[in-house]
């Protein structure tokens, strides 16, 4: 009967994306010593979120927006800046930095969701 507000749907999608990316990071760390393993990563949230038409970017002049070339969803092999002699491209330092960024995205999603919920409660007079 009632659809959730777009901001809450977006926060949920951001949290789900962070969870998927954290899964890829965990897999990379678990396979840090596996010969020939290639590091993987999930797509960035901005590339996979299919928001409504009001949220879509539009080009106002030629060259304003870069060409869309990112694939949406799923894991993809991350280009390796370096690989160990056994062919493994996982860098634990990079994985730690990516995990911190993913945690920041998840914390942002939770904060947005909590704020939107407080606004809804206030509008109903139930604070």
10 Å CB burial of residue 98 (0-12, 13-18, 19+) is buried
* Across 62-75, average pLDDT: 54
At residue 69, does pLDDT exceed 50? no
pTM over 0.75: no
Q: Please state the domain extents for the chain.
A: 6-123
pLDDT digits (tens, 9 = 90+) for 8-62: 888 999 999 999 999 999 999 999 989 988 888 888 888 777 644 445 556 666 6
As given in the structure block, the two tokens for residue 101 are: 């960024």
pLDDT digits (tens, 9 = 90+) for 80-93: 667 777 888 888 89
């Amino acid at each position: 009967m009632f659809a959730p507000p777009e901001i809450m749907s977006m926060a949920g999608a951001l949290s789900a994306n962070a969870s998927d990316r954290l899964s890829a990071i965990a897999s990379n760390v678990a396979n840090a010593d596996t010969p020939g393993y290639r590091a993987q990563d999930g797509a960035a949230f901005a590339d996979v979120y299919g928001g409504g038409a009001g949220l879509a970017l539009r080009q106002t002049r030629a060259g304003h927006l870069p060409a869309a070339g990112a694939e949406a969803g799923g894991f993809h092999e991350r280009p390796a800046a370096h690989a160990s002699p056994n062919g493994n491209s996982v860098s634990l330092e990079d994985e730690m930095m990516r995990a911190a960024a993913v945690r920041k995205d998840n914390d942002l999603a939770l904060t947005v969701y909590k704020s939107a919920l407080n606004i809804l409660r206030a509008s109903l007079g139930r604070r």
